[in-house]
Amino acid sequence: MSLLEQIDKERLPQHVAVIMDGNGRWAKEKGKLRVFGHQNGVVAVRDTVEGAVELGIKYLTLYAFSTENWNRPRLEVMALMELLVSTISKETKTLMENGVRLNAIGNLSTLPEKCRKQLLETIKKTSSNTNCTLTLALSYSSRWEITDAAKRIAIKVRDGEIKAEDITEDIFGDHLNTAGIPDPELMIRTSGEHRISNYLLWQIAYAELYFTSKLWPDFRRQDLFEAVIDYQKRERRFGMTSEQLN
């Protein structure tokens, strides 16, 4: 039975979040510069997005650039920004063919103008696609996002738009960058690291975590399928007992 046939389409995660890690190590293994790893990471992004569409996953969120990544060598940061612009531009056609809507979260005002412009252009162009929402986390960190939400809520309280005692988890969630997107049920991290690295901390409260030793440039749709098969074997209890679930 193929991997795809082993998946129960009725119990798919709606939202899969991915920490794409290991580009640098992949390049180093081959005696190449880190940028070569990022370039090959794009191949993995394309295949994973196509795999998500093939499977019927409605939301895919990729950690493409963290707030902390700004501290990398200037040349690497510049190369990553260039790669983002060129990839988003080149892949717009594929996104349209696959019915994928592009979205972005993070402090987008810190991105170079060229990058933000290309991003917003493709977001607009793909806005009516309905097969899958591909969210790129760019200049993103969860603590930044949560602090930003707290600030905006505080301003509303100050201005009398909302009462402090009326703040609920739902209202808080509506002030995060991911407002309107269901929480991920599955979070994948590549490269053998077992960390969350400031990614979607609020949203992954109940997510199943899946770690693979594959380095990101080697990741393909079959690896996504394997992660989903593993997810479907788990019992999601949300604090209840097995007996209550059955």
Positions that interact with ligand FPP (CB under 6 A): 20-25, 34, 38, 41-42, 45, 62, 64, 69, 83-84, 87, 136, 191, 216
Please list, in sequence order, all residues whose beta carbon lies within 8 angstroms of the beta carbon of residue 64, skipping any fewer than 6 positions away.
Answer: 20, 84, 136, 137, 138
Least distance (Å) between residue 215 CB and ligand FPP: 7
Alpha-helix runs per DSSP H in 159-214: 169-174
Q: State which residue, 78 or 205, has the beta carbon closest to ligand FPP.
A: 78
- Pick between residue 22 and residue 153 the one whose CB is nearest to ligand FPP: 22
**Residues 100, 144: Cα–Cα separation, whole Å:** 27
Please tell me the distance from the alpha carbon of residue 214 to that of residue 75, in angstroms, as a whole number: 26
Task: Give least dist CB 172 to ligand FPP, A.
Answer: 28
Residue 48 CB, shortest distance to ligand FPP, in Å, is 10
Q: Which is nearer to ligand FPP, 59 or 216 (CB)?
A: 216
Q: How far apart are CA 20 and CA 41, in angstroms?
A: 8
Which residue, judged by CB position, is nearest to ligand FPP in the bound state? 24
Nearest residue to 60 (alpha-carbon basis) of 68, 48, 69: 48
**Residue type at 126?**
T
CB of 193 to ligand FPP, least distance (A): 7
For residues 184 and 212, is the Cβ–Cβ distance under 8 A? no
User: Would you say 64 or 153 has its CB closer to ligand FPP?
Assistant: 64
Beta-bridge mates of residue 65: 138
Q: Closest approach of Cβ 242 to ligand FPP, in Å?
A: 37
Residues with catalytic function: 21, 69
When the beta carbons of 46 and 58 are compared against ligand FPP, the nearer one is: 46
- Which of 185, 188, 133, 150 is closest to 14 using CA atoms? 185
In whole angstroms, give the CA distance from residue 228 to residue 177: 25
Q: Pull the structure tokens for residue 214.
A: 């594959």
Distance of CA 170 to the CA centre of its chain: 21
